[in-house]
Amino acid sequence: MIIENQIKLIPEKPGCYVYYNKNKQVIYVGKAKNLKRRVSSYFNKAHNIKTTKLVRDIVSFETFITQNEKESLLLEQNLIKKYKPRYNVVLNDDKKYPYIAITNEKDPKYIYIRNFDKKNKASFGPLPDGSSARNILYALERIYPLRRCNGNLGEPCIYYHINQCSGACFKEVEPKYYQDQIEKVTNFFNGKSNDVEKRLNEKMVRAAENLQFEEAQRIKELIGHLSFTLTKQDVDLNDNLNRDVFNYFEYEEYICLNVLFYRNGKLTLKNNEIIKNDGQDIAELFKSFIMQIYTKNLVPDYVLVPKEIEVGDLKSIFGDRLIDDSLENSKRLIELSKDNAKEFLLQKIHYSDQVQVTKQDILNELKDAFNLPTYPFHIEMYDVANILDEFVTGAMVVFKEGLPSKNDFRKYNIDIDQEGDYHRMYDMIYRRYKRDINNPEKFADLIIMDGGIIQVHAAKKALDELEIKVPVIGLVKNDKHKTEYVLDLNEQKVYLDKQSELFKLLESFQLRVHNFAISGFRKRQVKGTIKNNELENVKGIGSLTIKKLYEKFINLENMSQASSEELNEIIKNKNVSERLVEYLKGRKENEQSKN
């Protein structure tokens, strides 16, 4: 009755709607030209089994009115990013494609990025994979040098001496130099020039003639990384246009969404995402997938989509770049995208050793394996990092639908008198849940402790004192710091198949929280170490440089063993680096004389 009364009040205007379950968690976000008509359709007509499953979980909803469809589309993406709803397609935040960019500065430089930034002067990508992208970057730095140092050093940097820097370190560089270099780089990525490969081949031959066989082999491997421009094509385009081609394939209870990235007429990258079909509107899921791709990536010359998708709202975003399969060439590409989606999904279902296809499948297995009371949509994992009981740092990482929810990650400075993991874990869990004690919708469906019985007992004690019920399990490592077994709800050991997708997912959670805890500890350690640090006695070294030195070398002992060149990678001033070497040398001699 509550929902029926709500529906009567919904206006016939464009906007977004948000569905909540009994725990006040957002489970689905959608958009509509006519909110009243769309929301009513979920509750006022008979549905198939899949849609019934979604509707059964809805206990309340909320609507947001917008001015037009374009605003609805953008708002929908913001809401999906914020809540990561169970029944939407949500791309992993970590899944960002590699780019090589040139910064928009007076003296520009090359940078490797995994998130397209329109502020840069030029960007090239997405590229096939991180390793190749970095190797391509190294090749460009050698063939078409830009600024490689920090600039304005007052003397030539080490890179200038080996012809890998423009000379901005000690002189004024003509703007035309950079314009020419950027034009050559653009021609390389557009396939208009084989100059890079030609010059690398010359370097390889010269190295071989000089009996520098390791260098020749390295250059040969570098040339191999450029081969993405020669990838064999399923469709011969005979042009230099950039296209992203989208399609999908449905089978049984799954949908596979596919995108093919064509750069300069050549296929450079493809991506597939599989989700459970629980009655969601396929067209809306498909368009949401497209929009999420472009929150992280460059929009190409053309975006191709199948004709059956109504694209009025997408047109408002992409304009004339959005085209369907009415042209023969576009039709072949869109069919190819569907074929890729079909092959990927059927391979996953029929030819994989694992029965799980999506994150939902794996999380359902987790629920069944440990008899959890609810589906573990919201999982929290905890760890503590410290050395010699100093700078004790707790970490909480959050996963929603099996994906990291970085906005919910938290670090805790644990400054208590009691030592040991029990008290530290207790302190962290107590503080986290005390804060939200009146907001049960923010509670986790499952807490995983990085550790054994001590850590699990600490979490349970904190929750009991707050009278909060959240299931707790422990993930235990062996002597080699590898995930070994799980302590279940009854604190019994459970050994999972280490090749299973469930084990791999839990192991990835454990690695994530460990790294997050360590990063928090190191920041505290560095901050505490640089305060009134003795390195400030070295002329030319300030607190920022000290921080960077400790981030790389951890302590003074490691610094004293580093060469002047290694130190200069941080300091960026040869004279100051040499002064630091002399200071560390004298410090070591004084300590030895005392002993």
pLDDT in tens, 142-167: 889 999 988 888 889 989 998 899 99
Please enumerate, as own/partner, the contacts of 254-258 that have beta carbons within 8 Å and a separation of 24 or more. Answer: 254/345, 254/349, 254/357, 254/358, 255/282, 255/285, 256/341, 256/342, 256/344, 256/345, 257/89, 257/285, 257/286, 257/289, 257/341, 258/337, 258/338, 258/340, 258/341, 258/344
Is residue 308 a contact partner of residue 247, using CB atoms and an 8 Å limit?
no
Q: What is the pLDDT at residue 231?
A: 46
Is residue 15 a contact partner of residue 65, using CB atoms and an 8 Å limit?
yes
Q: Residue 561 is which amino acid?
A: Q
Cβ neighbours of residue 45 under 8 Å, at least 6 residues apart?
A: none
Q: Residue 589 is which amino acid?
A: E
User: Beta partners for 245?
Assistant: 260, 304
Q: What is the pLDDT at residue 528?
A: 59
Max intra-chain CA distance, the chain: 88
Question: 362-525 adopts what CATH topology?
Answer: Nucleotidyltransferase; domain 5 (3.30.420)
pLDDT by residue, tens only, the chain of 595 residues: 578 788 888 899 999 999 998 888 899 999 988 999 988 888 876 555 556 777 888 888 999 999 988 899 999 989 998 888 888 888 875 557 888 999 999 999 999 988 788 889 999 888 876 667 888 888 889 889 999 988 888 889 989 998 899 999 999 999 999 999 999 998 888 777 677 778 878 888 888 888 888 878 877 877 776 665 444 445 556 677 889 999 999 988 889 999 999 887 878 888 899 988 877 788 888 999 999 888 878 889 999 999 988 888 899 889 989 988 777 788 999 999 999 999 999 988 877 655 667 888 899 999 999 999 999 999 999 998 876 566 788 899 999 988 888 889 999 888 888 888 899 899 999 999 999 999 888 999 999 999 889 999 999 999 999 999 999 999 998 888 888 999 999 999 999 988 888 999 999 999 998 888 888 767 766 565 555 567 777 888 887 788 788 778 877 788 888 888 888 888 888 888 888 888 888 777 777 666 5
Rounded distance, CA 100 to CA 108, Å?
13
Rounded distance, CA 174 to CA 585, Å?
42
Say which DSSP state 437 is in.
Answer: T
User: Beta partners for 384?
Assistant: 394
3-state SS assignment for residue 243? strand
Rounded distance, CA 217 to CA 231, Å?
22
Nearest to 123 by CA among 132, 136, 110, 139: 110
Nearest to 425 by CA among 474, 470, 384, 467: 384
CA distances from 11 to 30, 31, 74, 75, 264 (A): 16, 13, 20, 18, 46
Q: Assign domain 243-350 to its CATH architecture.
A: 2-Layer Sandwich (3.30)
Nearest to 307 by CA among 290, 280, 327: 327
Q: Residue 396 is which amino acid?
A: M
pTM for the complete prediction?
A: 0.70
Rounded to 5 degrees, what angle do the CA atoms 141, 146, 148 make? 75
Q: What is the CB neighbour count within 10 angstroms for residue 327?
A: 12
Q: What is the CB neighbour count within 10 angstroms for residue 251?
A: 16
End-to-end CA separation in angstroms for the chain:
83
Helix, strand, coil in percent for the chain, rounding step 5: 45, 20, 35
Tell me, yes or no, if the two domains 2-83 and 243-350 fold the same way: no
If phi > 0 it is left, if psi is from -120 to 50 it is alpha, else beta; for residue 242 that is beta
Q: What is the pLDDT at residue 230?
A: 44
Which of the listed CATH numbers 3.40.1440.10, 3.90.650.10, 3.40.190.10, 3.90.1010.10 matches domain 2-83?
Answer: 3.40.1440.10
Dihedral (C-alpha) 457, 462, 463, 465: value to the nearest 10 degrees? 120
Rounded distance, CA 261 to CA 230, Å?
14
Is residue 377 a contact partner of residue 86, using CB atoms and an 8 Å limit?
yes
Nearest to 400 by CA among 376, 381, 378, 367: 378
Rounded distance, CA 450 to CA 447, Å?
10
Provide the H-helix boundaries in 358-420.
359-369
Buried b (16+ CB within 10 A) or exposed e, 526-554: beebbeebebeebeebeeebbbbbbeebe
Which of the listed CATH numbers 1.10.274.10, 1.10.150.20, 3.40.640.10, 1.10.3720.10 matches domain 532-594?
Answer: 1.10.150.20
Show me where the domains of the chain are located. Answer: 2-83, 99-230, 243-350, 362-525, 532-594
Nearest to 539 by CA among 570, 585, 580, 588: 580
Residue 352 in tokens: 């994989």
What's the burial of 371, exposed, middle or buried (CB within 10 Å: 0-12/13-18/19+)? exposed
Say which DSSP state 298 is in.
Answer: -
Residue 531 in tokens: 């305060």
Residue 326 in tokens: 């009415």
CA 371 to chain centre: 31
Q: Residue 104 is which amino acid?
A: N
CA distances from 413 to 25, 283, 331 (A): 29, 46, 57
Is residue 397 a contact partner of residue 404, using CB atoms and an 8 Å limit?
yes
